[in-house]
């Protein structure tokens, strides 16, 4: 069971493609720490009762800058026995204290990086950001080797019209940092529709990427790096680039994946939280947690969302599979 939990909408960068960029005038919500503690205890009980290992993945905004997260992570890992991961922009990895915390309590850390050098810096609104990330992640990798423990180090890349040509160069650079796995997704249009049209992948670029992936995957294996994403994920990228719809008849909602937002809504994915989201207060027992797939299926049977007629949930299309 994977739980992706968006705990904050605050961020310290100004990524031109992100709806949580710091320069956007919008309300910034945070999750309720006590509600997280309560639900974490339930997840621990579920894990003991079912022998189904649980991975909780913090998302933002920028989660590592949210003050309550360190204590919550210690609780989830040390007391509840849950595996914990996060996706971060990496700005806090310059702190030796933060790196030590990650080494002790995290199973996975995914760093967001989109291009080599100044192009990454410009896209993220972070002067010198790429060079800093290189130093920070290399330090974390070195400290992991010395301690002989720590999280799997991963990177996620947002592919855009102007970054695709440099994707291979970036992957090789990430391998030198000590990154062990790389995932990628194409630029989406929901967060910043004003940015999307001029920067989205073209159909020709998507076709080129899909044709190059086997060679790039084999090359990265030589560096000890696994490039994730299956043929199903490649088809999703091509379909988006050419405007083709990919409906999902049955995504088996809630069986192996849950999304929880900062408002405490438990949903099959981030695209369905508004319509299918169930308040955490209603999921107060292992039985209620195990009944979520049936509840979600009933909701989908009664009203199919437009998002389901063209599913963009990357986990459904095996972004994270080998």
Question: Residue 221: which CATH number?
Answer: 3.20.20.70
The whole-number average pLDDT for the span 169-175 is 98
Give me the mean pLDDT over the 16-23 stretch.
96
**Domain count across the chain:** 1
Which backbone phi and psi does 239 adopt, to 5 degrees? Answer: -65, -45
- Alpha carbons 37 and 72: distance in angstroms, whole number: 7
Across the range 218-241, mean pLDDT stands at 96
In this predicted structure, what is the pLDDT of residue 300? 92
Give residue 249's pLDDT. 86
Identify which of 22, 49, 109, 45 has the alpha carbon closest to the alpha carbon of residue 73. Answer: 109
How many residues are there in the chain? 322
Six token digits for residue 95: 């702190």
Domain membership of residue 173 (yes or no) is: yes
Q: Is residue 117 part of a domain?
A: yes
> In this predicted structure, what is the pLDDT of residue 59?
98
Q: How many CA atoms lie within 13 A of 91 on its CB side?
A: 18
39 close to 280: Cβ distance less than 8 angstroms? yes
The residue segments making up the domain with residue 232 are 2-309
* Residue 320 included in any domain: no
Decide if 319 is inside a domain: no
314, part of any domain: no
What are the b/e assignments for 115-145, b being 16+ CB within 10 Å? bbbebbbbbbbbeebbebbbebbebbbebbe
Query: pTM score > 0.75 for this model?
Result: yes
Look at residue 321 and tell me if it is in a domain: no
Mean pLDDT score across all residues of the chain:
97
- Position 240 pLDDT exceeds 90: yes
Answer yes or no: is 318 within a domain.
no
Q: Has residue 315 been placed in a domain?
A: no
Is the pLDDT assigned to residue 322 strictly greater than 90? no
CA nearest 251: which of 287, 304, 186, 210? 304
107: pLDDT strictly greater than 90: yes
Mean pLDDT of 64-92: 98
């Amino acid at each position: 069971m994977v739980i992706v939990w968006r705990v904050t909408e605050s961020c310290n960068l100004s990524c031109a493609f992100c709806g949580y960029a710091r320069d956007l005038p919008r309300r910034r919500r945070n999750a309720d720490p006590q509600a997280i503690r309560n639900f974490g205890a339930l997840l621990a009980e579920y894990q003991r009762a079912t022998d189904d290992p649980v991975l909780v993945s913090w998302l933002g905004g920028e989660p590592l800058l949210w003050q309550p997260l360190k204590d919550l992570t210690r609780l989830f890992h040390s007391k509840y026995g849950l595996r914990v991961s996060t996706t971060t922009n990496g700005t806090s990895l310059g702190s030796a204290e933060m790196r030590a915390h990650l080494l002790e309590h995290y199973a996975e850390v995914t760093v967001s990086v989109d291009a080599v050098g100044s192009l990454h810096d410009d896209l993220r609104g972070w002067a010198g950001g790429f060079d800093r990330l290189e130093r920070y992640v290399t330090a974390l990798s070195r400290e992991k080797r010395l301690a002989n423990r720590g999280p799997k180090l991963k990177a996620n890349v947002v592919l855009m019209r102007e970054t695709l040509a440099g994707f291979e160069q970036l992957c090789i650079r990430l391998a030198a940092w000590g990154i062990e796995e790389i995932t990628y997704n194409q630029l989406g249009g929901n967060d910043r529709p004003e940015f999307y049209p001029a920067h989205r992948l073209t159909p020709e670029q998507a076709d080129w990427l899909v044709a190059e992936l086997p060679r790039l995957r084999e090359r990265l294996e030589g560096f000890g790096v696994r490039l994730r994403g299956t043929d199903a994920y490649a088809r999703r990228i091509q379909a988006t680039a050419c405007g083709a719809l990919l409906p999902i008849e049955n995504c088996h909602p809630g069986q192996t994946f849950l999304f929880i937002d900062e408002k405490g809504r438990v949903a099959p994915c981030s695209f369905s939280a508004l319509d299918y989201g169930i308040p955490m207060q209603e999921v107060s027992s292992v039985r209620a947690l195990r009944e979520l797939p049936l509840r979600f299926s009933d909701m989908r049977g009664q009203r199919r969302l437009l998002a389901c007629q063209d599913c963009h949930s990357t986990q459904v299309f095996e972004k994270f599979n080998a």
